[in-house]
Amino acid sequence: MDTALILAAGRGTRTQLSANKIRYLLDSKPVFMHSVDKFLTLGFKIIIVAQKTDFSFIKSYFPEAVLVEGGDSRSQSVENGLQEVESEYVFIHDAARPFVAPEVIKGVKKLLNKYDAVLTCKKVTSTIYNKDLDVVAREQLIEAETPQAFLTEKIKQAYRKRSGKNYSDDISLFKKYNKAEIGLFYHETNNEKITSEKEVEKYLMPEFKIGHSYDIHQITKERKLILGGVEIPVDFGLLGHSDADVLLHAISEAILGALGLGDLGTFFPDTDQEYLNMDSQKILLFSKEKLAEKKYHIENIDASIYAEVPKLKPYITKMKENIARILKIDSKRINLKAGTNEKMDAIGQQKAIAAEAVCLVKRSIE
C-alpha cells in the first residue's frame, strides 16, 4: 500500500481568508477531503500534515486520519510528514488541489515502475515573455503540479541533506541531491490549485446567499415621511437618527446580512452625529458598494411595508424605480408590497411603520 502525504498546513495568507482554506466547503465537503477521498478510493494510506489548530476539524470529517503537525515552511511540513511514511512509495499532494483526477494518480503510479521520482505537469500553451520582453520558448517549459511521487527512501535522504533550506516543491529538492532521471506525467485535466482570492471566489464562496431584515420606526409629527427614497405627502414622518426611511433601511440591511456583514448599526451608529438626518439613499448605495467589494450581485429583492396609513399603492412603482436606480438593477428584480396590521399593535394604531426585506445575491465570477 502506497502512502499519500496530503499537505494541509497552510495559513491562507494569500487568499485573505479568516481560516485555513482546507476548512471551506467545496460541493458540500471541506477542500481537504476531496484529495483524501481520491487517494482512499485508490487504496492509499493517508497522512495529513496540518496545523494543530485544524486537527479536531479534520478528525470530525476523517476520524481515522493520521495527523502530523506542520512546520513553518512547506519543506519543513513535508519533512515532518515523511517521518511517518513507511511504504515503499510516497505521493506528496497539496490539499489545495482538490480537483486531482484519479486517472492522474494512476498515471503517476504507473511511471513509478520506471522512475524513482515522478512529476505531474502540464505543457505550457501560452506565449511567455521574460522581464526583458523576450519570448521564452514554451517548448522548454512545463507547469509543475502535485501529486509528486517518490521512492520513499530517496526523498527522505534528500530531505535529510537539505540543511534547513526551503524548496518550492519536492521535485526540485529531489533533483538537487539525486542524479536519477525524473518521470514526467503530462495531463490536461483540471488540477487547479486554490491559492488566490480569485480562485477562492470562484470555487469556495457560496454561489447564492440570502439576507433578511425587519425595521420599525415610530411615527412623529415633526418630520416628513420618506419611504423608498420617495417623499409621501402626509402630515407626519418617522422618528430616527437618519431620515428614517424604514424601507431602505430594511433592504440595505438585508443586503449586508446576505454578505455576512452585520447590521446597519455596525456602519451607521445612531450615536454618531455624522449620520444625523442622513439621506437613507446613501445607506443603500453603501450596501451596493459592499456587494461589489465582496463580488456578489443582486438576483432579487422581496420587500414589504407595514403601515395603517397612508395608502401606499400609488407610490409603489416610483419606490421600485428609485431603488432599482440606486442599485443599478432592473426594477423587475424588485418586488414591493404594502399592507396594514389590521389595526393591531403599534402599526395598526398608527404609532409606527415597519418594513421587511429579503434579498438573494449571487456570486459574480469575472
Cell of 331: 426594477
For 151-173, give one letter per residue: b (16+ CB within 10 A) or e: bbeebbebbeebeeeebebbbeb
For 59-87, give one letter per residue: b (16+ CB within 10 A) or e: eeebeebebbebbeebbbbbbbbbeebee
Residue 235 sits in a domain whose CATH number is: 3.30.1330.50
Both 25 and 161 in one domain: the answer is: yes
Work out how many domains the chain is built from and give that number: 2
Q: What is the Cα–Cα distance from 56 to 45, expressed in whole angstroms? A: 20
The pTM of the full predicted model, rounded to 2 decimals, is 0.63
**Structural domain containing residue 328:** 208-363
Q: Select from 183, 203, 223 the last residue of a domain.
A: 203
Both 181 and 272 in one domain: the answer is: no
Cell of 243: 431620515
Both 179 and 275 in one domain: the answer is: no
Both 193 and 251 in one domain: the answer is: no
CA 226 from centroid of its chain's CA atoms: 37
| pLDDT string in tens for the chain (366-residue length) | 999 999 999 765 554 555 678 888 877 788 999 999 999 999 999 999 999 999 999 999 999 999 999 999 999 999 999 999 999 999 999 999 999 999 999 999 999 999 999 999 999 989 989 898 988 888 889 999 999 999 999 999 999 999 889 999 999 999 999 989 999 999 999 999 988 766 776 676 777 899 999 999 999 998 999 999 999 999 999 999 999 999 999 999 999 999 999 999 999 998 999 989 999 999 999 999 999 988 899 999 999 999 999 999 999 999 999 999 999 999 999 999 999 999 999 999 999 999 999 999 998 754
Both 169 and 220 in one domain: the answer is: no
Both 34 and 134 in one domain: the answer is: yes
Both 65 and 132 in one domain: the answer is: yes
Both 250 and 336 in one domain: the answer is: yes
Residue 72 sits in a domain whose CATH number is: 3.90.550.10
Both 215 and 253 in one domain: the answer is: yes
Both 90 and 136 in one domain: the answer is: yes
Q: Select from 175, 203, 231 the last residue of a domain.
A: 203
Both 191 and 313 in one domain: the answer is: no
Both 40 and 139 in one domain: the answer is: yes
